[in-house]
Structure 1
Amino acid sequence: MSDTEIIVCTTCRPQGASRELPADGLALFEAVQDALLVCELDTGLHKGLKLRGLACMSGCSRACTVTLQAQGKFSYYFGDLAPDAETAAQVIACAQLHRQSADGNLMRNTRPERLRAGILARLPPIGLNGQAST
């Protein structure tokens, strides 16, 4: 089972938000980081998850954005996420589903509520031939 990487855009901010204030994307990144720390201390459920912040993932009109990716699996790119602790917990839960899935496919009805909508992209693994089920 390959590790799933959670990538959070650290520069995301809603349209019209002041550049003088910290970016909502950074707040979401920090919330996911804090939630992973709690998982590590309480349950160890963070195993197999990696977190990375990235300045700009070009989802500016759909802030905040998060990507889930792993070697040999479908990648998911989500937008329109709230920069709060509940979203962070649901991102981690979804990342665990991604990690446990053989091909990375995440059926809509199995994803946490805040990650059922707002999909910006679902990308196939590099080298995938043929059609995959949805």
Structure 2
Amino acid sequence: MSEPETTVQTTVYVCTVCRAKDDPEVRPGQALLEAFDARLSPEDRAIVAAEPVECLGVCSRPCTVAMAARGKWTYVLGDFDSVDHVDDLVESARRYSASENGLVPKKDRPDAMRKGVVSRTPPGPFAR
């Protein structure tokens, strides 16, 4: 008997274009994406996928990520550190995935998620 297929429910998009403020040659989003992807457990990978994106339009707050899932609010989060906030990003993705509608109560958000909210967008009519 084969294992039931699991479907990724949450996608974490990481901007890989933003440049470090102090060194324009460094792209911290790429480092964050690689560290985040490496930190996901097999259980996490069943529900969370990491995807690079070329720009999230929040260049003043690198590293920037977006969390999205069908039928859920989408969060755009900025100011992630590619070293110090990897665990917060993993935990944020877990809590977002576990939420019914994508809204994670502020008191339940990891610190980097609590401080980094740039915006949240309701699910579009096509996703309901």
TM-score by length of 1: 0.82
- Determine if contact 2:8/2:45 at 8 Å carries over to the other structure: no
Residue 29 of structure 2 corresponds to residue 25 of structure 1: yes
- Determine if contact 1:2/1:71 at 8 Å carries over to the other structure: no
Q: Could you give the per-residue CA deviations for residues 56-92 of structure 1, whole angstroms, max 9, x where no partner exists?
A: 21111011101100000000000011011x4122111
Structure 1: distance between partners of 2:66 and 2:125: 19
Q: Secondary structure at the match of 2:11?
A: strand
Q: Name 1:57's counterpart in structure 2.
A: 56
Structure 1: distance between partners of 2:95 and 2:87: 13
Q: Name 1:113's counterpart in structure 2.
A: 111
- Determine if contact 2:17/2:29 at 8 Å carries over to the other structure: yes
Structure 1: gaps spanning 5 or more residues: 129-134
- Determine if contact 1:6/1:52 at 8 Å carries over to the other structure: yes
Q: Name 1:124's counterpart in structure 2.
A: 122
TM-score by length of 2: 0.85
Identity %: 29
Q: Name 2:4's counterpart in structure 1.
A: none
Q: Could you give the per-residue CA deviations for residues 3-25 of structure 1, whole angstroms, max 9, x where no partner exists?
A: 01010011122334222xx3111
User: Cα RMSD (Å) of the superposition?
Assistant: 1.8
Q: Secondary structure at the match of 2:13?
A: strand
- Determine if contact 2:61/2:79 at 8 Å carries over to the other structure: yes
Structure 2: gaps spanning 5 or more residues: 1-6
Structure 2: distance between partners of 1:127 and 1:104: 15
* Selected match of 1:10 from 16, 38, 41: 16
Q: Secondary structure at the match of 1:76?
A: strand
Structure 1: distance between partners of 2:15 and 2:29: 5
Kindly state the Cα deviation for residue 2 of structure 1 after the two structures are TM-superposed: 6.8
Structure 1: distance between partners of 2:45 and 2:110: 16
Q: Secondary structure at the match of 2:66?
A: strand
- Determine if contact 1:91/1:115 at 8 Å carries over to the other structure: yes
Structure 2: distance between partners of 1:23 and 1:2: 27
Q: Name 2:82's counterpart in structure 1.
A: 83
